[in-house]
Amino acid sequence: MPEKISPGMQQYLDIKKDYPDAFLLFRMGDFYELFYDDAVNAAQILELTLTSRNKNSEHPVPMAGVPHHAVQDYIDQLISQGYKVAVADQIEDPKKAVGIVKRAVTQVITPGTAVDFSDRSENNFLVAIDQTKNQFALAYMDLSTGEFKVTELTDFSGVVGEIASLKAREVVVGYTLTSTQARVLSQQLNLLISEQLDCEIPTLIHLSALTALENQVASKLLTYVKRTQMRDLSHVQEVEHYAIKDFLQMDFATKSSLELTANKREGKKHGTLYWLLDATKTAMGTRMLRAWIERPLIHAEAINTRAEITQIFIDHFFERSDLIESLKGVYDLERLASRVSFGKAVPVDFLQLSHSLSHVPSIRKILENMDQPILSALTERLDAIPELTALIDSAIQESAARTITEGGIIKTGYNAQLDTYREALENGSSWIAKLEADEKEKTGISTLRIDYNRKDGYYFHITQSQLSSVPEHFFRKATLKNSERYGSKELSEIEEIMLEAKEKSSALEYDLFLAVRSQTEQYISRLQAVAKVIAELDCLQSFSEIAEKKGYIRPKLTPNGQEVNIKNGRHAVVEAVMGAQEYVPNDIIFDEKTNIQLITGPNMSGKSTYMRQFALTVIMAQIGAFVPAEIAELPIFDAIFTRIGASDNLIAGESTFMVEMSEANRAITQATKHSLIIFDELGRGTATYDGMALAQAIIEFVHDHIQAKTLFATHYHELTTLDQELSALTNVHVATLEEKGNVTFLHKITAGPADKSYGIHVAKIAGLPEKLLERADIILQKLENRPVSAKKLDNHDEQLSLFDFDENSTAIVEKLKSVNMDNMTAREALNFLWDLKELL
């Protein structure tokens, strides 16, 4: 006979079947409970005590619980590890329930929809992807700020790169993934994959600027968010189309190798361009700065506007100082607006809103005092929203607690009925004091006092020694060891008035607070608009502060030019880490006739730093920042392609060489004459001559067909002769100083090819054993006596010879040619080998 299931457990099972992929937190009294596998798994992940329901049953149900007041901490732990959590709350008052209390899921929290974070400066993007034929669309949303954007992409690798750049933790897929796509998303990118195949609300997205596929993926994302959050999300902004081609294009490998926003060692901010340029004062500015670095501009007017404002802030030191102080008083308006929309805003959030908006007029005044026409567009958008400030200032008590159910939130004078209740409470206190004094006098009990607790309410406290003096109109409420508690008719009447006033006062305050929260919702779009202006000002003041502190200069951009003229340029991040005194600056010069620099020189000498320096200078210039150089004249680039450093992509099953070739292919197929290509040691992932042949062929292809500005570092010294045949290629090398067998790397780029690689000297610096180094030197000398000539591979079918034979080897060659190997016996073959040995 099957075991009978209680109504409560049946309710749990009915809800759980709709959320099989989530931990279900089921509210029961003061706890959220988990059952069955959820309880077993959560107990292990969250280190909870695992108990069981119906312990004496044949099949006890595993159970674990967390207190309701601490549930958010446990939810955060589950979300941080990539799980979904469905929260089932009691949706009716237990006191009024007939039978079992009604419960329902009120929110599903996922890694991509979480809005409560410890780090408020980071975005948390939820991404959705969809596909039709060979075209992809990607939409992303940050529920904590309301940002909502969509784009189209031509291939899945572009989708992967965009998701990686957004640092998303969850992807909503609107189509059936292939097994390879699913593996890349779940294993390579470590994403939680959620499906949303149907589209519930297409009518909400009607912008003509969107393609049909963009409309579809944005609608599916919005559908998923509505279904999981189960509330009206008034802070979600209207979806905005963006195109990858409207920004300086960089794939994820390029951003990673240049360490723009995350360092390669730990994936953290320290030691990145983001870290270097971040002198922002607001969370909104910090997020915008990261977005600017991820997507540099390609339109000269927009770049120059940022640079011009940066220069104005540098020139107006005192005004900038005042601006910084005002920005410090601005809280995260975007996140505060989202808390209002989510119904999570507490009194302190409104006080922060008011405090932030109170700084807007002073910020506006500072900009006006600079008297610069270019600032007027920003000034006009600085909306202080005085109506909202007036509402908050009149309604919310400055000393209000975070809780919203126990009163003390609303100011006196805001609501007449609330003031009446408060007056009754104040009068009640004076009535209590008068009654206590009167009864002391009448009874002669000097120690008599009136106290209060939740169980007994108001009572007269009388010690054992005074019990004989208790008057007849007192009635006993409770007996303690050394005292008694009494009541009276008059005390009960006062208590009733006070408790009614207290209860009604708290309830009214709660309703008034909800009304303020509801009224604030109508200002959300204005809050988001002013937040964007403040974030922009914050980024630009950050640029000016860093430029002034580091001695950076404003670059000169030549949109229609091709020349590069950087004098005494530096790698901004390396210089910041090393210190300006130790860093060796370098010129980077490309005249009109030069497109390719072939860079030779030893490892550890600074080739990679020189190349990264160029890329970072371009990126800094095109986000509108100043750059580390004495002179910087640059064209505007449309893309940067890099292949720097060796790395296997083990999850995707790709070797170092395969990764090299894939990244080289992206550059060759996508670059234009306005792109920047950086290749470091391309071809080293395969055999020497294969690598050399490919490197030369790639150089020739870039030279003849693409004509992009290219830095190509190589250890193949044979390639340095290419400058005789390729007119737009020039050789440069890293200078070295050699004295008495010791080598010093000068980290200075000099014209011409390097004459040595100094690999053994690098090994010596690394501390390899002396005997090993001596042996390597002997082997090197032998190898250097057998030079391999480099020539342009006009016949691409020709394989370079592994050995150069001299005339003494002719007899061996002739003997090998004369033998028919197919007809030889084993004995004959062995004798033949002996004959060859004799000849050798």
**How is the beta sheet containing 192-195 ordered, strand by strand?**
192-195, 170-173, 125-132, 135-142, 147-153, 240-241
Q: Which of these ranges, 431-445, 469-483, 532-546, 639-653, has the smallest mean pLDDT? A: 639-653
Phi/psi-derived region of residue 413, left when phi > 0, alpha when psi is between -120 and 50, beta in every other case: left
Residue 323 near residue 360 (C-beta atoms within 8 A): no
Looking at the structure, tell me whether residues 331 and 430 fall in a common domain: no
Return all residues near 734 (Cβ < 8 A) that are at least 6 apart: 599, 600, 601, 602, 605, 606, 607, 610, 745, 746, 747, 748, 749, 750, 754
Mean pLDDT (the chain) is 87
Question: Tokens at residue 251, please?
Answer: 């794939």
CA 62 to chain CA centroid, Å, is: 37
Return all residues near 817 (Cβ < 8 A) that are at least 6 apart: none
Q: Specify if 791 maps to a domain.
A: no
Model pTM score: 0.82
Residue 269 is assigned to a ligand binding site = no
Place of tokens 């730990």: 266
Q: Specify if 153 maps to a domain.
A: yes
Domain boundary (56, 82, 109) is at 109
Residue 685 is assigned to a ligand binding site = no
Looking at the structure, tell me whether residues 99 and 238 fall in a common domain: no
DSSP secondary structure, 368-405, as one string? HHH--GGGHHHHHT----HHHHHHHHHHB-TT--S-SS
Q: What is the DSSP letter of 703?
A: I
Q: What are 294-317's pLDDT values in tens digits?
A: 999 999 999 999 999 999 999 999
Question: Tokens at residue 58, please?
Answer: 């044949």
Residue 606 is assigned to a ligand binding site = yes
Beta strands 240-241 and 147-153: pairing type? parallel
Backbone φ and ψ for 195, nearest 5 degrees, come out as -100, 145
Whole-number CA gyration radius for the chain: 37
Residue 809 is assigned to a ligand binding site = no
Residue 473 near residue 488 (C-beta atoms within 8 A): yes
What's residue 2's pLDDT? 55
What's residue 793's pLDDT? 43
Looking at the structure, tell me whether residues 365 and 347 fall in a common domain: yes
Residue 4 banded pLDDT, cuts 50, 70, 90:
confident
What's residue 832's pLDDT? 77
CA 810 to chain CA centroid, Å, is: 66
Closest CA to 513 of 645, 585, 414, 377: 414
Alpha-carbon distance of 705 to 701, in angstroms, equals: 6
Three-class DSSP category at 631? strand
Domain boundary (222, 246, 270) is at 246
Q: What are 696-705's pLDDT values in tens digits?
A: 999 999 999 9
Looking at the structure, tell me whether residues 97 and 182 fall in a common domain: no
Residue 488 is assigned to a ligand binding site = no
Position 789 pLDDT exceeds 80: no
Q: Specify if 763 maps to a domain.
A: yes
Q: Specify if 114 maps to a domain.
A: no
Position 216 pLDDT exceeds 80: yes
Q: Which helix (H) or strand (E) holds 546?
A: helix 524-550
CATH, residue 285: 1.10.1420.10
What's residue 175's pLDDT? 94
Looking at the structure, tell me whether residues 651 and 769 fall in a common domain: yes
Looking at the structure, tell me whether residues 208 and 331 fall in a common domain: no
Looking at the structure, tell me whether residues 593 and 617 fall in a common domain: yes
Residue 661 is assigned to a ligand binding site = no
CATH, residue 13: 3.40.1170.10
What single-letter amino acid sits at 190? N
Q: Specify if 56 maps to a domain.
A: yes
Looking at the structure, tell me whether residues 481 and 433 fall in a common domain: yes
Q: Specify if 468 maps to a domain.
A: yes
Question: Tokens at residue 181, please?
Answer: 């796509």
Residue 89 near residue 107 (C-beta atoms within 8 A): no
Residue 601 is assigned to a ligand binding site = yes
Question: Tokens at residue 40, please?
Answer: 């077993």
Looking at the structure, tell me whether residues 489 and 466 fall in a common domain: yes
Q: Which of these ranges, 46-50, 241-245, 421-425, 559-563, has the smallest mean pLDDT? A: 421-425
Total domains present in the chain? 6
Place of tokens 């708290």: 506
Which carries the bigger pLDDT value, residue 802 or residue 654?
A: 654
As a whole number, mean pLDDT of residues 55-71 equals: 86
Alpha-carbon distance of 524 to 517, in angstroms, equals: 11
Closest CA to 253 of 637, 639, 780: 639
What's residue 1's pLDDT? 44
Closest CA to 63 of 25, 99, 93: 25
Residue 483 is assigned to a ligand binding site = no
Q: Specify if 795 maps to a domain.
A: no
Q: What is the DSSP letter of 639?
A: B
Q: Which of these ranges, 54-58, 228-232, 299-303, 807-811, has the smallest mean pLDDT? A: 807-811
Looking at the structure, tell me whether residues 609 and 591 fall in a common domain: yes
Domain carrying residue 440: 416-517
Q: What is the DSSP letter of 299?
A: -
Q: Specify if 261 maps to a domain.
A: no
Residue 543 near residue 625 (C-beta atoms within 8 A): yes
Q: What are 434-491's pLDDT values in tens digits?
A: 889 998 888 888 889 999 887 888 899 998 888 888 898 999 999 888 889 999 998 8
Alpha-carbon distance of 59 to 539, in angstroms, equals: 61
Alpha-carbon distance of 310 to 27, in angstroms, equals: 54
Looking at the structure, tell me whether residues 603 and 733 fall in a common domain: yes
Q: Which of these ranges, 83-97, 184-198, 635-649, has the smallest mean pLDDT? A: 635-649
What's residue 797's pLDDT? 44
Looking at the structure, tell me whether residues 779 and 641 fall in a common domain: yes
